[in-house]
Amino acid sequence: MINPDVFRNPLFGVSVTVIAYALASAVHRRFHWAHALLLTCGGIVALLLAGGIPYESYKVGGDLIAFFLGPATVALAVPLYKQWRRIRSHAGAVLTSVAAGSIGGLASAGLLVWLAGGSRLILLSMMPKSVTTPISIELSRELGGSPELTAVLTVLAGLLGSVIGPATLRRLGVRRDLAIGLAMGTSSHGIGTARVIRESELQGGASGLAMALAGIFTSLWLVPVYWWLGAHAGQM
């Protein structure tokens, strides 16, 4: 019998993640419809379940991998810089579309939860889910939602967008690289950006810019919502 403590060694989480990712990337190269991130994570979850390995043990090594999200996010300035001349000539379209998309995303999130009869806690936790996780959990806390629930919803929104986003956009008439990048960054933050940057530097640069802009716009759009909630605090 293996001592379960061995899984608490960071080497376990790190190597499982890298091996799963390498295998998933190979599958993705053969079968282009297979989504690398979905395969990687599905494989890891299946392994943890099959081996009865607690998520907390996996997390020791997983955190080391996730650490690189910081410098990778900073690195998004490079495609932005290299593609800047093409992006700047459409500055109006960039600002208008990200502003409109972020208000549409948060308003429809709230409206759909309400229409489907979801609770107030779910509604408030759902509204900020389109922006990058550190911003969305902060906004959720200020709104009175559940930051944990928002963190999960944010990641799932990013994952779903990165799986169905580019194909859906193309099918529905969004074909320019710049427009695809902006739509992915606005609705699916870093996970959507990580998907499109593998295919096009312009899409990646636009998506990284849209992710940062959507974080700022969404924070601004939610200000009137705080006032409204404050004014109606006792009534809901």
Partner 1 sequence: MYGLAILLFFNFVGVLLHEWARIPLPGSVLGLILFAAGLFSGLIKLQWVESTSHLLLRHMLLFFAPVVVGAMALSGILRQQWPSITLALTGSLLIGMLITGWTASALMRGRDDQP
Residue 68 or 227 with smaller CB distance to partner 1: 68
Contact pick of 57, 182, 221, 225 for partner 1 (by CB under 8 A): 182
103 vs 159: CA distance, rounded Å: 20
Residues 6+ apart with CB under 8 A from 152: none
Q: Total residues at the site for partner 1 (CB under 8 A)?
A: 116
* 92 binds partner 1 per the rule CB under 8 A: yes
173 vs 140: CA distance, rounded Å: 33
Provide φ and ψ at 7, rounded to 5°: -75, -15
* 8 binds partner 1 per the rule CB under 8 A: no
Residues 156-175 that bind partner 1 (CB under 8 A): 156-162, 165, 168-169, 172-175
Contact pick of 68, 226, 227, 228 for partner 1 (by CB under 8 A): 68
Binding mask 99-138 for partner 1 (x = CB under 8 A): -xxx-xxx-xx--xx--xxxx--x---x--xx-xxxx--x
Residue 160 or 229 with smaller CB distance to partner 1: 160
140 vs 126: CA distance, rounded Å: 8
* 15 binds partner 1 per the rule CB under 8 A: no
Helix/strand/coil percent split, the chain, to 5: 80, 0, 20
